[in-house]
Structure 1
Amino acid sequence: MRWYGRAVLVLSAVFVAIGVALLVVTAAHGGGVVGFMLGGLFVALGVARFQLERKRGG
Protein backbone atom coordinates (compact mmCIF):
# COMPACT_ATOMS: atom_id res chain seq x y z
CA MET A 1 0.00 0.00 0.00
CA ARG A 2 3.02 2.28 0.11
CA TRP A 3 2.69 2.98 -3.62
CA TYR A 4 -0.90 4.11 -3.04
CA GLY A 5 0.17 6.77 -0.55
CA ARG A 6 2.82 8.08 -2.89
CA ALA A 7 0.40 8.09 -5.82
CA VAL A 8 -2.11 10.08 -3.79
CA LEU A 9 0.54 12.64 -2.86
CA VAL A 10 1.67 12.98 -6.47
CA LEU A 11 -1.89 13.38 -7.73
CA SER A 12 -2.57 15.92 -4.99
CA ALA A 13 0.41 17.95 -6.16
CA VAL A 14 -0.80 17.67 -9.76
CA PHE A 15 -4.26 18.97 -8.78
CA VAL A 16 -2.70 21.93 -6.96
CA ALA A 17 -0.49 22.68 -9.97
CA ILE A 18 -3.46 22.54 -12.34
CA GLY A 19 -5.40 24.88 -10.05
CA VAL A 20 -2.57 27.38 -9.84
CA ALA A 21 -2.12 27.25 -13.61
CA LEU A 22 -5.85 27.89 -14.11
CA LEU A 23 -5.71 30.86 -11.75
CA VAL A 24 -2.65 32.34 -13.47
CA VAL A 25 -4.03 31.89 -16.99
CA THR A 26 -7.41 33.28 -15.97
CA ALA A 27 -5.80 36.34 -14.40
CA ALA A 28 -3.52 36.84 -17.42
CA HIS A 29 -6.53 36.85 -19.75
CA GLY A 30 -8.44 39.44 -17.79
CA GLY A 31 -10.35 37.26 -15.39
CA GLY A 32 -13.50 35.25 -15.46
CA VAL A 33 -15.65 33.76 -12.76
CA VAL A 34 -15.51 30.19 -14.08
CA GLY A 35 -11.72 30.14 -14.38
CA PHE A 36 -11.18 31.49 -10.89
CA MET A 37 -13.78 29.12 -9.45
CA LEU A 38 -12.33 26.04 -11.13
CA GLY A 39 -8.78 27.04 -10.22
CA GLY A 40 -9.72 27.52 -6.59
CA LEU A 41 -11.59 24.23 -6.50
CA PHE A 42 -8.63 22.33 -7.96
CA VAL A 43 -6.29 23.88 -5.38
CA ALA A 44 -8.74 23.07 -2.57
CA LEU A 45 -9.15 19.50 -3.82
CA GLY A 46 -5.40 18.92 -3.95
CA VAL A 47 -4.78 20.39 -0.51
CA ALA A 48 -7.71 18.51 1.04
CA ARG A 49 -6.61 15.19 -0.44
CA PHE A 50 -3.07 15.78 0.77
CA GLN A 51 -4.35 16.50 4.30
CA LEU A 52 -6.54 13.39 4.29
CA GLU A 53 -3.60 11.25 3.21
CA ARG A 54 -1.42 12.70 5.99
CA LYS A 55 -4.12 11.95 8.58
CA ARG A 56 -4.44 8.41 7.24
CA GLY A 57 -0.72 7.94 7.85
CA GLY A 58 0.56 7.73 4.30
Structure 2
Amino acid sequence: MSWYGKAVYAFGAAFIAIGVALLVVTAAHGGGVVGFVLGALFVALGVARIQLERKRGR
Protein backbone atom coordinates (compact mmCIF):
# COMPACT_ATOMS: atom_id res chain seq x y z
CA MET A 1 0.00 0.00 0.00
CA SER A 2 1.35 3.40 -0.90
CA TRP A 3 1.66 6.34 1.45
CA TYR A 4 -1.42 7.85 -0.20
CA GLY A 5 -3.58 4.85 0.69
CA LYS A 6 -2.33 4.88 4.26
CA ALA A 7 -3.03 8.60 4.52
CA VAL A 8 -6.58 8.12 3.23
CA TYR A 9 -7.24 5.44 5.85
CA ALA A 10 -5.72 7.62 8.58
CA PHE A 11 -7.79 10.67 7.65
CA GLY A 12 -10.91 8.53 7.32
CA ALA A 13 -10.35 7.12 10.80
CA ALA A 14 -9.72 10.63 12.11
CA PHE A 15 -12.99 11.89 10.63
CA ILE A 16 -14.86 8.97 12.19
CA ALA A 17 -13.25 9.70 15.57
CA ILE A 18 -14.15 13.40 15.34
CA GLY A 19 -17.73 12.51 14.42
CA VAL A 20 -18.12 10.08 17.31
CA ALA A 21 -16.63 12.65 19.68
CA LEU A 22 -19.09 15.27 18.44
CA LEU A 23 -21.99 12.88 18.97
CA VAL A 24 -20.84 11.97 22.50
CA VAL A 25 -20.23 15.57 23.56
CA THR A 26 -23.54 16.70 22.08
CA ALA A 27 -25.42 13.93 23.89
CA ALA A 28 -23.58 14.66 27.15
CA HIS A 29 -24.60 18.32 27.01
CA GLY A 30 -28.26 17.63 26.48
CA GLY A 31 -28.43 17.41 22.71
CA GLY A 32 -28.73 19.79 19.87
CA VAL A 33 -29.64 19.28 16.26
CA VAL A 34 -26.50 20.90 14.85
CA GLY A 35 -24.16 18.75 16.93
CA PHE A 36 -25.91 15.52 15.98
CA VAL A 37 -26.03 16.44 12.30
CA LEU A 38 -22.37 17.46 12.16
CA GLY A 39 -21.32 14.36 14.07
CA ALA A 40 -23.26 12.09 11.73
CA LEU A 41 -21.85 13.87 8.69
CA PHE A 42 -18.28 13.45 9.92
CA VAL A 43 -18.84 9.74 10.53
CA ALA A 44 -20.45 9.34 7.10
CA LEU A 45 -17.56 11.21 5.46
CA GLY A 46 -14.97 8.99 7.10
CA VAL A 47 -16.78 5.76 6.24
CA ALA A 48 -17.39 6.85 2.65
CA ARG A 49 -13.76 7.86 2.14
CA ILE A 50 -12.51 4.50 3.43
CA GLN A 51 -14.98 2.62 1.24
CA LEU A 52 -13.96 4.59 -1.84
CA GLU A 53 -10.30 3.88 -1.15
CA ARG A 54 -11.04 0.16 -0.78
CA LYS A 55 -12.83 0.11 -4.14
CA ARG A 56 -10.06 2.10 -5.80
CA GLY A 57 -7.43 -0.29 -4.52
CA ARG A 58 -8.97 -3.31 -6.27
Normalising by the smaller structure, the TM-score range is over 0.9
C-alpha deviation, 1:42, in angstroms? 0.0
Is there any run of 5+ residues in structure 1 with no aligned partner, and where?
none
Look up the match of 1:39.
39
Count of paired positions = 58
**Quick one: which amino acid aligns to residue 8 of structure 2?**
V
- Do residues 49 (structure 1) and 53 (structure 2) align? no
TM-score (norm 1): 0.96
- Do residues 16 (structure 1) and 34 (structure 2) align? no
What do residues 8-35 of structure 1 show as CA deviations (whole Å, max 9, x unaligned)?
Answer: 0000000000000000000000000000
Is there any run of 5+ residues in structure 2 with no aligned partner, and where?
none
C-alpha deviation, 1:39, in angstroms? 0.0
Give % identity. Answer: 79
The root-mean-square deviation of aligned C-alpha atoms, in Å, is 1.3
